[in-house]
Amino acid sequence: MNDQFLIDKARENLKEKIVEITNPARRRIFLEVGIDDLLASVSWLKNDLGFTHLSTISGVDLGETFEVIYHFANNYCCLNIRVKIPRDNPLLPSICELIPGAILYEREIKEMFGLTVQNIPDGRPLLLPDDWPAGNYPLRKDWKYERPPEVIPGGEK
């Protein structure tokens, strides 16, 4: 198995689902698919090529859109599936049915970017405090940090 083999297999099996496929470095492949083709692409990657290890899921706020990157790895390479999601309709299907370990990463993406992960088995908050204000997503570019008032122990009351 080499980079070109994986790229050829992707083109052969995913065909029109592929928006772009790049190979920026040896043993690193980026495959961009449409959001509607995410589950079929992950299923193909897992069932046909044996990529069962999801290293992480990353999110990027690009302004008008969000980019979500699923980082899969095997003994040969890292194959990353990218999808772009519109900011005005941030819906993302859960891949937990295919890769159960994705749940923590999906909960993080949901909480930190405000994306709606459809059919996630457990959508509870993961990282932020229970009293975190609704609608505040700290990894979005438009999020503004407001420093809480400073409290000096033993100071004036």
Q: In angstroms, rounded to a whole number, what is the distance separating the alpha carbons of residues 113 and 21?
A: 25
C-alpha dist (Å) from residue 97 to 34, 40, 66, 94: 19, 12, 23, 7
Q: In angstroms, rounded to a whole number, what is the distance separating the alpha carbons of residues 136 and 112?
A: 8
Handedness of CA 12, 15, 18, 21 (dihedral sign): positive
Q: Enumerate the H helices of 15-124 as residue ranges.
A: 38-47, 103-113
Whether the model clears a pTM of 0.75, i.e. scores above it, the answer is yes
- pLDDT tens figures, 88-142: 999 999 999 999 999 999 999 999 999 999 999 998 888 998 888 888 999 999 8
- pLDDT tens figures, 10-59: 999 999 999 999 999 999 999 999 999 999 999 999 999 999 999 999 99
- Evaluate whether 3 touches 27 at the Cβ level (below 8 Å): yes
C-alpha dist (Å) from residue 31 to 6, 34, 45, 69, 79: 11, 10, 11, 9, 7
Structural domains of the chain in order of their starting residue, each with its CATH number: 3-118 (3.30.460.80)
- Using alpha carbons, select from 56, 59, 42, 72 the residue that is nearest to residue 110: 59
Given the structure tokens 């990529």, which residue do they identify?
51
